[in-house]
Structure 1
C-alpha cells in the first residue's frame, strides 16, 4: 500500500491546499494531511484547532485521507508511520526553489518528495491572503 503525507501549516486551509490533497489522494492509497505545529511560523491558531478545521474542510467522501497535527520533522513522522513520500504544492518559482531545498533535505533523511504544481487558477491563493480577507 502506498502512503503519502501532505504537510503544511494550513492556517487556514485554502482551495489550493484542497486541490493538492485531492490530486494526491488519487495517486496514493492513503494520504495524511499533516498539520505542522511549528512555533517559528507563528500560526494564528493552535495545531489541534487547525487540524480540526482541516478535517471539517475535507469532503466526507475522501475515505483515504486522514488529518493529524505533528510537532517535529516531517521525515520523522514518515519513518514512524511507514509513509513513503512527502507531497508538496508549488505555486511559483520562489516556492519551487524553497521546496527543492526542503526536498533535498528530506531525501537525505530517506524520504522522497513529490512536487505538484498548483493549477494556474489557484496560484495566487495563499493562507496569508485568505487571513487578510474581511470576516
Structure 2
C-alpha cells in the first residue's frame, strides 16, 4: 500500500476526531486503515456540546487506548476540548480523517470539510466497509442498555 510520506512530502500526521461514545468496530477499522496510510494518526476524543456522552472525555480516551493493539506504534489517543483544526495547527497534523457510513454522513461531513479546507486542513473521507456501515455509537449504546 502506498504510504503518504512515500511521495516525498515528509512525515504526514493525521487526526481522527470524534466523541467515540463508545468506540465501535467501525471506528477501529477506520483507525486501522488510516494508520497504514499516515506516519502518525491521533484518535482525538473530542468534546461536542450537542452530545451528552456517557463517560468523561478522559475516560473515553483511556478506554480507546486500552482497545488499540500495542504494536500500533504510530497511533496515539488524545483528549481535546477545542476545535479540531486548532489541534491540527498546534500539533502539525495536515489531514483530518472522517468515516462516512451513508449519504447523511457525507452531507454533514462535506460542510465541515469545506470549512476546514479554508482553514488550511484537508479532510480525507474513509468509507465504511459494508459490513460495518449500519453500526453507530448510538446503536451500540442501545444494545448495551
- TM above 0.5, yes or no, is yes
Q: Distance in 1 between matches of 2:107 and 2:61?
A: 27
Q: Which runs of 4+ in 1 moved over 2 A?
A: none
- Residue of structure 2 in register with 1:41 after alignment: 51
Query: What per-residue deviation string (whole Å, max 9, x for no partner) do you get for residues 58-100 of structure 1?
Result: 1111110000000111000000001010000000000011110
Q: Pick from 10, 15, 20: which aligns with 1:10?
A: 20
TM-score (norm 2): 0.91
Query: What per-residue deviation string (whole Å, max 9, x for no partner) do you get for residues 16-39 of structure 1?
Result: 000000000000000000000223
- Residue of structure 2 in register with 1:95 after alignment: 105
Q: Pick from 22, 26, 30: which aligns with 1:20?
A: 30
What's the C-alpha RMSD, in Å, of the aligned pairs? Answer: 0.9
- Residue of structure 2 in register with 1:109 after alignment: 119
Q: Distance in 2 between matches of 1:134 and 1:107?
A: 37
Structure showing greater radius of gyration is: 2
TM-score (norm 1): 0.97
Per the alignment, do residues 64 and 49 of structure 1 end up closer, same or farther by CA in structure 2, a change over 3 Å counting?
same
Q: Distance in 2 between matches of 1:40 and 1:34?
A: 17
Q: Distance in 2 between matches of 1:73 and 1:134?
A: 30
- Residue of structure 2 in register with 1:128 after alignment: 138
How far off is 1:133 after superposition? 1.1
Does the alignment pair 1:57 with 2:70?
Answer: no
How far off is 1:134 after superposition? 3.5
